[in-house]
Every structure is written in structure tokens, then in C-alpha cells.
Amino acid sequence: MENGKTQALSRVSVSGLRGVGPKVAERLAKVGVASVQDLLFHLPLRYQDRTRLVPLAALRPGTEALVEGEVADAGIGYGRRRSLKVWLADASGQAGVLLRFFHFSGNQIAALKPGTRLRCFGEVRHGPQSLEMVHPEYRSCDGDELPSLEDTLTPVYPTTEGLQQSSWLMLTEQALALLEQDAAVPDEWLPEEILQRFGFPSLAAALRLLHRPPNSIPLGDLCDRRHPALRRLAFDELVAHQLGLRRLRHHQKRIQAPILGGDQSLRARLLAGLPFALTAAQRRVAEEIAADLRQPRPMLRLLQGDVGSGKTVVAALASLQAVESGRQVALMAPTELLSEQHLRNLRTWLQPLGLDPLWLTGRHKGRERAELVARIAAGEAPVLIGTHALFQEDVRFRDLGLVIVDEQHRFGVHQRMQLKEKGARQAQVPHQLIMTATPIPRSLAMTLYADLDLSVIDELPPGRTPVTTVAVPDNRRAEVIDRVREACAQGRQAYWVCTLIDESEALQCQAAEDTAKALAEALPDLRVGLVHGRLKAAEREPVMADFAAGALDLLVATTVIEVGVDVPNASLMIIENPERLGLAQLHQLRGRVGRGAVQSHCVMLYHAPLSRQARARLAILRESTDGFEIARKDLKLRGPGEVLGTKQTGEMQFRIADPAGDEDLLPAAQQTADILLDRHPGHVRPLIDRWLAGRAEYGRV
């Protein structure tokens, strides 16, 4: 099937289309459009209905509408901003809408005089006195010939600077014309029996419909992703994604890894010295990892566990198995604070065994760093903990057998690959354990990490108490401060977390400093500490140590304490402006309390009014403490890229598919991937190239 349209149009450059010069071609390349095939797969974000006129009396706020009416009044209004206000009325004069223009010219004022008939398109909003359209598109209808209505729904394309929607419409018209040519029928890389089983349209029919939907299709079917054309393309992409990950997994199975059997001597001593017993879930997961490490192929395992479930001790057991086998271990964390927490835990557990973990971060400079790097290269450091500094070029390992990556989605893919490659020697690569405290719904894990084995710690240690959560408006701040006073008077400790809309770390830290000062004045009897991302480790460590030891009552912090802080006596968490954070991050923050036997509380101090989505997020947190259930709902609210923090890393960027909304397609996509690999191996590469060209490396580990 190397003859078809997809193959042909993948070789037709957009530069050959009318209206595409060097500058336009450069702009198209920014959004991944180089060929006509790319253009056809660059689908609209949404649609506008310009196929029918909406009576002015039927307008509803929050919708886009095409309307027609006569200018009844026009004039310049002087409020907070000067604006041109045009009242558009229907024939009865009883219904109308205000057209508001903040940017206007004298010619516009003259053209929009009373009596002029207009056709307008725009978003309807609530105004101070009436419904409004702000800067709508409009044209005069005073001529003999009325402008015709559109035949299809109008697509709105994702774009970049310098490319208007009119350009996308012109270009896609040309691409669709080429699609109509008999010699340009798209290659169907999916088996016919699959298409028939699900009633999927052909690829060509799906593309035509999605670029120019007829007005007979309800707009809701497209917005809600229910239409078979959208589901067909989403299914294609999910299958391609599964194929890419399976190919990576197959590649990994052909690579050798060191057999890390170990004699269990260190592990037995660790377990005997722990002040707690492992849960059944921890024991099960630890054995799954131990069995992987005993194999001659690299372990690729994702370890999930809700906050406080005890992932670190499982990682410690895996580390000791590697050390027992004479190999080095590298544990990489995304922040210095989290790497410090791992360092403290592992030193507590490993130093009695005669092992002293080393720590390497960006703060280590000059001679100190050179000495650490030399010890790592000489094999004097069996266990190394650090941040991104671990994969810098001058860091060399003598015999790296296991790589542990915590909160892996916060790292770029290439960073993880670099660390793995540091351990490659004699055609062997180290084993990899990837940990996350961000619960990932199983459907999403199946989609994103099909190249990994999955282990889940689905049980909290005994003695943990559920955290009660309340949302309080910030005009009741004084009451919340009183609540902190009462909790600390009872011998408990509290966190106060500051967030800002502004992404600037400097501003966030300034807000935390101001809050700490204000709280110290309001609570003179309490010992108040402060930590934020701009403090050096030498300044931050004593504060964290004092809080852990009970020498501080209240810790004011930015979201740097989201992970890696374990103080069982802390029973109260205040989160300012929770509406600015996602559910997963709020759940992580809340997980800093409830780590002991005492009843714990989380107060979300929000600023009114809340958006609908913010209200939904806070309601979910009040109702549930189950991280996996929260993650499932977060996925539906925000999408996987935001939930996992991967929008900036280049990982897991679906073009059409939505792992949450298309969850029902996942089992069939996995089955179809197996069918293609087994019966149609020649279709695998073209399908991957169609959807993942230039991105198929992202899952490689």
C-alpha cells in the first residue's frame, strides 16, 4: 500500500500551495506543518456555527452566534474605558444586543449610524445593562443582495503568530481539493475488520468532515468528541502510540542488563532495623522489583503510590540489592529539597549498614564537586542521590547497575536517557525504577507507559488518619489564623503554603516572606519558620530540621514542600489561593499532614469569586482523599499534559486523542496494535510516522 494518498501527499510540500511563500512556510513549520499530509492532520480546535441566524431574542451568554439587526442607536461611552456602543435591534424593536468597540475609528462611527442593517458574529456576554458582543465581526446588509450563509460549520485552527484563520481556510481548501483526486486516496493502515467492527468511516471521509462539517451535525457532537470521525482519528493515534511504545519495549528486551541477585544480607539487616513493618502492598511491590533485578534484561518499572504510601523504603531495598551485587545506584529527584529528603531517609537507614550515600546537586561547586565526581568515578559511592546534576557530562560512574528516577514526569526525556546511558558498559544498561507520587489512573498509565511494567502501592501504612478538608474564603483569614493558634497550643504543628498567579519564583518567595512576617506578628507566641526555593540549602536545612524536631510551630513555605517532607506531628495545612493549583498538586500538599495518628485538617483559603472549574476542583478535594480517584477526576478536568506536568517536556503530547475522554478505545487500540505487529508488520512504521514523526523517541528509556 505504498501507492496511496497519504504517501503521496506526505511528499507534497506546502510551499507548492497558493499563498505559501518562504515566510508562510516558516510559520507553518512552527506548528509542524511541512507537507499537505501535515496540513490535513492539523485539525480544528473548535467550530463556529455561521450557517444559521440566531434571533436576537434567543441569544444566550457564553455562546457564539450569527445575528442580524438594525442599528437603533450609536454613541461613545465614557466609563473605565472609552468605547463605541452600538445598539442592534430586531424588527420588533423589543430585542437587541449591544455591540461594544474599545478600538474604533471615525470611519467606523460614520458607518455604524442608526438605520444601518448589520450581520454580526461574536461571543455573547453579560454586560452591565444588557447582553453584549465585544468587537464582533460585522458587515453591512444594506445592499440589494444579502450575504449568503455558510454551508458548513466554520473551523477554528490552532495557529501561530502571523497566520490568520483566513489563511488556514484557504490552505485547507487546497488540501481538501487534492484529497478529492482519485490517486490521492489515503492509505488505510488499520485492518478492515477493525474499521467495520467499530463502524469507523474511511480516513478520507473523516478528514473531509472534520475540516468542513455539514451544518446537519450537532455542534455538541464535535465539541464532546462523540462524532465517529473524531473517534476514528483518535483511535488511529492511540494505536500509533501503542505501536511506538511496543517497539521501544521490544528494543529493550534485546538489550542486556547486569543480573543483580544479591545475597540479601543488607536487605535483611535493613528490615530488621526499621521501626515499622512493611505493608502487604510494599512487600508485594518489593518482590516484583527484586524479581526484575534478577533478570539479564533491563527492568523498566513504574512504581506508583499515593502520598505517604512508603515508596522510598521500597527504593531503598532495590538499592541494597544492587549494592549487594557490587553495583552502584543513582537516585535522581527533580528538586534539591526532595533530593535532600531522600538523602536524610537513606542515610538514616543505610549508615547503620556501613553505607554513606553521597549527594550531588547544582550547589556543589569547585573542589567539593571535583572530589565528589572523583569518588563516583572510582566506585567509592555505592549509592548516589542528586538532582539534574547527576547527568552532567563530567559525572562518570564506575559500575552503575540501577537508576531510580523520582517524579519522572518533571524531567525532560533526554535527561532520563542521559542518566541511563551513563551506566552503559559492555553492551549492558542499568535497570530503571521510575517512581511517582502523582497517582495516574490505570487507563492513562496503560496509554503513556505501555513500555513499562506497573507496580502500585495501594495501601497506606497503619495508623494514618484521613485528612478532613474545608474551603474558606480569604475574608475569613482571621478565623484561620485563630485555628492555627489553637492547633499549636495543643502541641501540634502547622504548614502555611503561599501561591501566586505569577510564575516568577522571586515573587512567590517574596509573598512567602511577607506572609511569614505577618503571621509572626499575628501569632507572637508561636515559633515561625520560612522555606522557599531561593534559599540556599545551608539556610533551608536548619529550618527543615527544626520543624521536624518540633522546634518550630508553624512553617511558612511555597509549593517547594509539595513532596519530600515528613513530619508526623504536623496536623494542620493552610493553602492560600488553592484555586491557582491543580488537583494533583493540592493533593500532594495536603499529603504533608495526616502522617501521624492524630486527626489532621487542610484549610483551602480561596479568593472569591471562584471559576466553575475551581469550584469543581475544591469540591473533589473535600469529598475524597483517594489520590487515584482525585487523579482520575483531575484528568477529566484538565487533560493529561497538565496533570503530569508534561506540557513543557515534550512528552506525551497527543494531537487528537484524549486518554481520559477516549478511555473506552484503549483496550481496542492495544489489541489492534498487537494485530498489526503480528499480521501486518508493514503497516507499523507508516502509522507511527503519520502520528509520531519526530516524536517517537520520547518513550525510549
* Tens of pLDDT, residues 215-240: 888 887 887 778 899 999 999 999 99
- β-strand pairing of 400-406 with 431-436: parallel
How does residue 37 score in pLDDT terms, banded at 50, 70 and 90? Answer: confident
Digit-coded pLDDT (tens) for 553-570: 999 988 766 555 678 899
pLDDT, mean of residues 319-347: 90
At 643 the pLDDT is: 42
Nearest-CA neighbor of 571 among 554, 587, 584, 588? 554
Stronger pLDDT, 442 or 548, i.e. the higher one: 548
Task: Specify whether the CB–CB gap between 270 and 349 falls below 8 A.
Answer: yes
Count of CB atoms situated within 10 Å of the CB of 648: 9
In DSSP notation, 412-437 reads -HHHHHHHHHHT-BTTB--EEEEEES
Q: Which residue do the cell numbers 512493611 mark?
A: 278
Q: Could you tell me the CATH superfamily of domain 265-457?
A: P-loop containing nucleotide triphosphate hydrolases (3.40.50.300)
Average pLDDT rounded to a whole number, residues 250-263: 86
CA distance 395 to 377: 7
Q: Using 50, 70 and 90 to split pLDDT, how confident is the model at 667?
A: confident
Residue 187 to residue 403: CA distance in whole angstroms: 42
How far apart CA 56 and CA 69 sit, in angstroms, is: 8
pLDDT tens digit sequence for 356-393: 999 998 878 889 899 999 999 998 889 999 988 887 88
Residue 265 is predicted with a pLDDT of: 95
Instruction: Provide the H-helix boundaries in 523-652.
Output: 537-549, 583-590, 612-623, 627-638, 640-643
Domain 56-140 has CATH 3.40.50.720: no
Whether pLDDT at 512 is above 70 = yes
d(CA 423, CA 328): 9
pLDDT given for residue 176 in this prediction: 92
Nearest to 302 by CA among 434, 393, 130: 434
Checking if the pLDDT of 700 tops 60, the result is no
Give yes or no for residue 636 having a pLDDT over 90. no
Beta bridge partners of 383: 329
> 3-state class of 319 per DSSP?
helix
Q: Which residue has the higher pLDDT, 162 or 443?
A: 162
Over residues 665-679, the mean pLDDT reads 89
Compute the average pLDDT of residues 675-695. 84
C-alpha to C-alpha distance for 554 and 484, rounded to whole angstroms:
8
- Percent of the chain at pLDDT > 70 equals 86
Bigger pLDDT: 426 vs 103: 103
User: What pLDDT score does 697 carry?
Assistant: 43
Residue 468's pLDDT is 92
Is 80 exceeded by the pLDDT of residue 17? yes
Q: List % helix, strand, coil for the chain (3-state, nearest 5).
A: 45, 20, 40
In the sheet that holds 554-557, the strands lie side by side as: 467-473, 600-606, 570-576, 493-497, 554-557, 528-531
Q: Quick one: pLDDT at residue 650?
A: 38
State the chain's mean pLDDT as an integer: 84
More confident residue, 321 or 409: 321
Domain segments of the chain as ranges: 5-46+157-217, 56-140, 265-457, 467-624
| Between residues 288 and 686, the one the model is more confident about | 288
Residue 638 CB neighbour total at 10 angstroms: 16
Residue 378: count other Cβ atoms within 10 Å of its Cβ: 10
Among 559-563, 570-574, 576-580, name the most confident range. Answer: 570-574
Q: Do domains 56-140 and 265-457 have the same CATH topology?
A: no
Whether 2 shows a pLDDT value over 70: the answer reads no
pLDDT, average across residues 478-505: 85
Binning pLDDT at 50, 70 and 90, where does residue 649 land? very low
Q: How many CB atoms lie within 10 A of CB 481?
A: 16
Q: Report the pLDDT value the prediction gives residue 338, as an integer from 0 to 100.
A: 80
Architecture of the structural domain at 467-624: 3-Layer(aba) Sandwich (3.40)
Strands 467-473 and 358-360: unpaired
Span of 84-93, 198-207, 537-546 with lowest mean pLDDT: 537-546
pTM recorded for the entire structure: 0.68
Least confident of 44-53, 314-323, 404-413: 404-413
**CA 470 distance to own-chain centroid:** 26
Query: Which H/E stretch holds residue 406?
Result: strand 400-406
Which of 271-285, 317-331, 430-444 has the lowest average pLDDT? 430-444
With bands split at pLDDT 50, 70 and 90, how would you rate the model's confidence at 665?
A: confident
Which pLDDT score is estimated for 505?
57
Q: Where are the alpha helices (DSSP H) in 187-279?
A: 192-198, 203-211, 219-223, 228-253, 265-273
Res 1: pLDDT:
37
When mean pLDDT is compared across 53-67, 404-418, 620-634, 677-691, the lowest value belongs to 404-418
Distance CA 295, CA 241 (A): 27
Predicted confidence band at 635 (pLDDT cuts at 50, 70, 90)? low
Rg (the chain; Cα; Å): 30
Closest CA to 168 of 266, 69, 46: 46
